[in-house]
Amino acid sequence: MSSRAPGIEIPDPASALRKYAIEVASWLRGEGPATHLPQQPSPYPVPIYLAALTSQNVELAGEIADGVMPLWWSAERVARSKRWVDRGRAKSGGRGKLEMTLGLPTYVGDDIGALREAARANLAIFTTLPFFQRLMRASGFADEAHHAEQGAGGASLSDRLLDAICLIGPAARCRERIAQYRDAGLDLPILWPGLGVDSAREVIAAFRQ
């Protein structure tokens, strides 16, 4: 299937991702294809993470990578992904534990209604992308996916969906959500603030300790 969003023809995305990850690992070992630069191994271990949304690509990460880096996942989907990782690790030739990371859109404050509106404004662009529409549907948000497919933009992001994939509210509430994610198997939460320097500073200040 072609990928229209980036304007690139990718008839078999999973095979392309496998090939690219294997080539990167080869270059890091100093075994990459000859170029105008001399090939030499990296002096330091460099872990390879796959950005993956689907069960197929999470399984691929389990097979060939050191970590996986999805986003727009609920804690429930993190827990469900363990079996996908295990299937891949069974084919990995004895690799160690796969590190599960996750980008978590983070909006800290007391006015939850206003924070949800900020999240809608920030995340609306993703609703136009077919693979995120499919992810919404696969994650149990069929109505929201339908509205996104109809071009509703940020309005397709219901409170229920935002609360499932974001950290929204006072810092204590956000920490509780992080704990739920960790219980589900998340190793490294990556806090993703809203647009603007002020949003980033608010998140840093809230989680500094």
Task: List the CATH number of the domain containing 146.
Answer: 3.20.20.30
Number of domains in the chain: 1
**Residue 104: how many CB atoms within 10 A of its CB?**
20
Within 29-158, residue ranges assigned H as helices are 55-64, 75-89, 112-123, 130-138, 142-149
- Residue type at position 30: G
Domain hosting 86: range is: 47-206
For 37-121, list the strands marked E by DSSP. 49-50, 67-68, 99-108
What percent of the chain shows pLDDT beyond 90? 80
Whether 143 is covered by a domain: the verdict is yes
Q: Tell me the pLDDT band of 2, cut-offs 50, 70 and 90.
A: very low
**Sign of the alpha-carbon torsion through 165, 166, 169, 171:** positive
pLDDT value of residue 83? 96
192 located within any domain: yes
Q: Is residue 81 part of a domain?
A: yes
Residue 136 lies in a domain: yes
User: Is position 27 within any domain?
Assistant: no
**Closest-CA residue to 123 (of 80, 89, 72):** 72
Q: Is 18 in contact with 60 (CB distance < 8 Å)? A: yes
pLDDT > 50? residue 144: yes
pLDDT for the residue numbered 36:
82
Q: Is the residue at 84 inside a domain? A: yes
Q: How confident is the model at residue 7 (pLDDT cuts 50, 70, 90)?
A: low
Determine which of 1-5, 27-31, 163-167 has the lowest per-residue pLDDT on average: 1-5
Most distant pair of Cα atoms in the chain: their distance: 56
Global pTM value: 0.88
Q: Which of 85, 3, 93 is nearest to 52 (CA)?
A: 85
Identify whether 14 is part of a domain: no
- Asked if the structure places residue 33 within a domain, the reply is no
